[in-house]
Structure 1
Amino acid sequence: MPHASFEGLRVLSLETRREREVEKLIRTYNGDPLVVPSMREIPLSSNTDCVEFGHRLLAGEIDLIVFMTGVGVAKMMEVLSASFDREKILQQLCKRQIVARGVKPVAALRELQIPVAVTTAEPSTWREVLAQMDKKYGDTLARYDIAVQEYGATNPELIAELVHRCASVTKVPVYQWGLPLDIAPLQGAIREIIDGSIDVVLFMTAVQVIHLFHVASDMGVADEMRRALESIAIISVGPTTTEEILHYGLKPDFEPSRPRMGFMVNEAAQYARKVLAEKRSSDSFSGAKPEDEAATVASKPPAWPVQQVAPSTSTMAGFRDGLAPLDILQQVSSSLTSTDPLHVVLSRIVACVCAMVPCDSCFIYTLEEDKLVLRASRNPHAAEIDQLKVSVGQGVTGWVAEHREPVSIPERASEDPRFSAFRNLPEDTFEAMLCIPVLCAGRVVGVLNLQHKQPYFHTDLERRLLATIGVLVGAEIERARLETENLQLADRLESRKVIDRAKGILQRDLKISEDEAYRMMQKESRQRRKSMREVADAILLSESMRLGSKTAENR
């Protein structure tokens, strides 16, 4: 298959957060990019809904909470922590049934140590959320009072379905999307669409679609723009965005094989010219008359399915063709140098690896004592993350850790003599796999594991790149381990100082030796099932209160 190329086509993207990256990708694929920010994140003018949710949560009036985005988790905690005791909020959240839409809210909730009962796999639309809730709870949903953390705008279809199923539904908006402060670039993009200067448009979120039509409507050219879009290649990142495009009377030409920016641009570069040739040669796209516009919108294209391109091959690997290896390593390095927790960093590494190599599954294990512990996964495995442990030497993953050598199995992986299946991981039924040892200073600290549903022959470049990433990740894992050890050492030293102070108080007040004071505290620790530090803290608190009372009397 030839290298993907736009061959000079004018490509419009409405991306805001990653505009430089998408512009670079389009240029890499020989496209003429027009990247126009279409939205900005703004705080709600009032947080009353979120605060009211906090009151109801603490009162025990909420049974189940649906988190739609990872950013929403953080924003909600920010708002609630300003009005309530953070620890009490976290305690209540841990007691509720938690549903998370995809891996990002799962990662955010895991950092807060909030257990997740239900999550969804890609593409993680509201339909998947609802299906998993039905599967998990069934008719018991009718007894639940639930809350839905919203993002940007209300999803009326999801809310309607939940109202039908549950005792009550509370919407909890915590942030929203607004138009850019300067909409002139967006207006200019709309004029280019109408003038026929745009060949391809990439929609990466539903909000981009809403804002494009909102501005066009304010300009009085929404119908004209809709007709112009009929002769442009329209690419939707996934089902949620596709539904919004269908709402405006248009049908995307296809969705990428993975709902990721790299795959989207790569596959648009491969198929856009063919799509354009078919659309622009068809009489049906010669342009509707203005008087026919109402009929055009009324008779929307069938809601489903929208074509999805074939599963990616090695020449369709998103970032792999779009960015040089140095760019990939730069992305990994940027993630590693961030101040985010280890789980978040590893999740980003997984996302980067999946963009580079078109795999169906990716795991990162860290070596802790003699066990490999699953710490990050491409697919949602809320129950297995931090819980699934593989012995060194067990299965292909354990073999790689034991021998410090990579293993590439292009097909029939389950027939390899080193293979060992895990019932909780359906990926173990996949056809091909690549395991890379994660090293630091010549010592194995983890394993990076990729798996494929279909036979896959990894190139030498892929193996070398992943081995390099393994070294970078190994350094980060080792840094996190040393940081944890330092914290534990500091805590032990602080505990020792507190215990010594408590012993001194007992020696002074009870006229006993240091050894007797220590044994007394030890006995109290066993009887009350408290740590020595907790017993010492209690003694110091009592001493502090006694001194405070004495000071008050002297006054």
Structure 2
Amino acid sequence: MAHASFDGLRVLSLESRRSKEVAKLIKTYGGEAFVVPAVREVPLDTPQPVLDFAASLIAGEFDMVVFFTGVGVKAMMQIIETKYSSVEFLTALRKTRVVARGPKPQAALRELNVPSSAIAPEPSTWRELLDTIKNEFADVLPEMRVAVQEYGATNPEFLAALSEMTTQVTRVPVYQWALPENLQPLRESVLAVANAGVDVVVFMSAVQVIHLFQIAEQMGCVDDLRAGMETIVVISIGPTTTEVLLHYGVQPDFEPSRPKMGFVINEAAQYAGKVLRQKKSGVDVALATRLAGLTFSSSAAKTDQNGDGEAVAIARPVRKVAASTPTMAGFRDGLGPMDFLHEISSRIAAADSFHTVLERIVEFVTTAVPCDSCFIYVLEDQNLVLRASKNPHSEVDRVGMPIGQGITGWVAEHREPVAIAANASIDPRFKAFKNLPEDHFEAMLSTPIMTASKVVGVINLQHRLPYQHKTSEIRLLSMLGFLVGAEIERARLESENLQLASRLETRKAVDRAKGILQRDMTISEDDAYRMMQRESRQRRKSMREIAEAILLSEDLRKMRPESVAK
């Protein structure tokens, strides 16, 4: 094998969890190491999703559990052990089909003596994971209830595809990603790349790319960062990270033969110097990689002959993807909806009304999937009630239907999306509402809103003219149903709690006011209540306002001098 050496090149890595090991490897291969953590793993705002998952698993409500990361396995166990017996949980887990996305979660599960029913092969992206699940469990998959351990950001493409193949999919987030507390090293890294202060940059995860460009955007120098990467060697650990780099307009020079830390540093040491010399001499990037001994082809494992006639490993080619990939393997869109959900959560925390949250969701949905009409129905007491609309409607908060009635009710009952390209009104499941003119529209797309494995509502999109919904649009709306389900349920419960609290306060005020009238006028409780009702109708005031007026009068009477003297 060719000798691997950086020969003094300045190598930037944004690795966080294994920063010491990366720095040591770079130095071992003769490089000047600059290791700047770009990602911080932080606990969830609440451990409740994990605890709910544990309770459901122990109750036998899942048939398969998918683990994405080894760190996630360990973090999950730490949360679960705060409330449940680890023995009870692991016994239940061993009774289900367990799927691991590669060797790291498999190793963590093995430590817990939990066997893996299937393991995704390298490069262990969500695509290999999905293919593994389809191949291994094709016969029973449609009847399965699946839980997915998430990491950092959700993966909407994986969830949408899996939900189409199974009975239900439940997300189990165990930690989240954040920027480091000290951002100055990342800012200095942006400037170093932009001003050729480093020779090589190694990306070992997609979120490292996202956070670096996020800091560059805050600094107002995204173009400088992108231009700087054209003059240095950019190495991506695998296809997921490559897709995100391409989204930002950066063409990686190569990927390692295997998506492992040791391979990426070793092969960077072998080829980075050659690629850098060719790039600085003005040679095209693709040509530079070929001249360095790297070949772009469809094969993942090739060999070539170096100058000494010795066979050397050829790094796997960087896969070409569309310049405007919308989902970027789940990471970019995964973080986008996370920001969106954070905004909704902030609105709830700020005591915004239920309808404000729903209107925000309608705005987001109609931006993502253009349409003429958008309705959101929320499940309340086994009835789907129209709670939000893209177009102004007097029927909002009035129109409702039971589960199973109409296309909307069918979607809620079966937990499946429905896409109708034309003549929606002649579909046998259709039910018309005379006050909704959108019922005369031609095309319709309806998907359930889910949270904690239950339906909480339905999103309907409608088109005036015939419209063939793309598979990507159906999957996107299904994904949005997953993402906003928890927020809708939280907002609805918040609204119900406020209404309940208001009713309790009204009841207390009315009861106190009745007591005062009974005492002062020597009348019965029923007479006192009827008197207050009469005043409410005549003065066009609510019962609470009448009661508060009586209570205020009583308080003022007690403050009179003669009352104080007594």
Structure 1 length-normalised TM: 0.50
The answer to whether the 8 Å contact 1:255/1:306 transfers is no
Deviations 1:31-69 (A, max 9, x none): 222211112221112112112212322332221110111
User: What is the match of residue 23 of structure 2?
Assistant: 23
User: What is the match of residue 220 of structure 1?
Assistant: 220
Looking at structure 1, the residues matched to 91 and 82 of structure 2 have their Cα atoms a distance apart, in angstroms, of: 16
User: What is the match of residue 108 of structure 1?
Assistant: 108
Looking at structure 2, the residues matched to 216 and 184 of structure 1 have their Cα atoms a distance apart, in angstroms, of: 12
The one-letter amino acid of 1:66's match is: V
User: What is the match of residue 479 of structure 1?
Assistant: none
5+ long unaligned stretches in structure 2: 286-295, 314-566
User: What is the match of residue 546 of structure 1?
Assistant: none
User: What is the match of residue 149 of structure 1?
Assistant: 149
User: What is the match of residue 168 of structure 2?
Assistant: 168
- Trace 1:395-474 onto structure 2 (pairs within 5 A): none
Deviations 1:498-523 (A, max 9, x none): xxxxxxxxxxxxxxxxxxxxxxxxxx
Looking at structure 1, the residues matched to 190 and 85 of structure 2 have their Cα atoms a distance apart, in angstroms, of: 48
User: What's the offset of the Cα at 1:201?
Assistant: 0.5
User: What is the match of residue 276 of structure 1?
Assistant: 276
- Trace 1:92-241 onto structure 2 (pairs within 5 A): 92-241=92-241
- Trace 1:156-555 onto structure 2 (pairs within 5 A): 156-282=156-282, 310=303
CA RMSD of aligned residues (A): 2.9
Looking at structure 2, the residues matched to 181 and 265 of structure 1 have their Cα atoms a distance apart, in angstroms, of: 27
Looking at structure 1, the residues matched to 110 and 206 of structure 2 have their Cα atoms a distance apart, in angstroms, of: 27
The answer to whether the 8 Å contact 2:179/2:211 transfers is yes
Looking at structure 1, the residues matched to 143 and 268 of structure 2 have their Cα atoms a distance apart, in angstroms, of: 46
The answer to whether the 8 Å contact 1:64/1:98 transfers is yes
User: What's the offset of the Cα at 1:242?
Assistant: 2.1
Q: SS in structure 2 opposite 1:175? A: strand
User: What's the offset of the Cα at 1:159?
Assistant: 1.4
Change (3 A) 1:309 1:4: farther
User: What's the offset of the Cα at 1:204?
Assistant: 1.4
User: What is the match of residue 60 of structure 1?
Assistant: 60
Change (3 A) 1:64 1:271: same
Looking at structure 2, the residues matched to 306 and 12 of structure 1 have their Cα atoms a distance apart, in angstroms, of: 29
User: What is the match of residue 70 of structure 1?
Assistant: 70
Looking at structure 1, the residues matched to 46 and 181 of structure 2 have their Cα atoms a distance apart, in angstroms, of: 20
Aligned length: 301
Q: SS in structure 2 opposite 1:82? A: coil
The answer to whether the 8 Å contact 1:254/1:309 transfers is no
Structure 2 length-normalised TM: 0.49
Q: SS in structure 2 opposite 1:98? A: strand
Q: SS in structure 1 opposite 2:138? A: helix
5+ long unaligned stretches in structure 1: 286-302, 318-555
Change (3 A) 1:160 1:232: farther
Q: SS in structure 1 opposite 2:153? A: coil
Looking at structure 2, the residues matched to 203 and 128 of structure 1 have their Cα atoms a distance apart, in angstroms, of: 21
The answer to whether the 8 Å contact 2:99/2:116 transfers is yes
The one-letter amino acid of 2:130's match is: L
User: Looking at CA atoms only, which structure, 1 or 2, has the larger radius of gyration?
Assistant: 2
User: What's the offset of the Cα at 1:233?
Assistant: 1.0
Change (3 A) 1:251 1:142: farther
Change (3 A) 1:130 1:8: same
Change (3 A) 1:311 1:76: farther
Deviations 1:49-106 (A, max 9, x none): 1122123223322211101111211211221221223332222211111111112222
The one-letter amino acid of 2:179's match is: L
User: What is the match of residue 552 of structure 1?
Assistant: none
Looking at structure 2, the residues matched to 189 and 306 of structure 1 have their Cα atoms a distance apart, in angstroms, of: 34
User: What's the offset of the Cα at 1:165?
Assistant: 1.6
User: What's the offset of the Cα at 1:161?
Assistant: 1.4
Q: SS in structure 1 opposite 2:106? A: helix
The one-letter amino acid of 1:153's match is: A
The answer to whether the 8 Å contact 1:255/1:308 transfers is no
Query: What percentage of aligned pairs have identical amino acids?
Result: 51
Looking at structure 2, the residues matched to 11 and 113 of structure 1 have their Cα atoms a distance apart, in angstroms, of: 39
Change (3 A) 1:41 1:116: same
Looking at structure 1, the residues matched to 130 and 168 of structure 2 have their Cα atoms a distance apart, in angstroms, of: 15
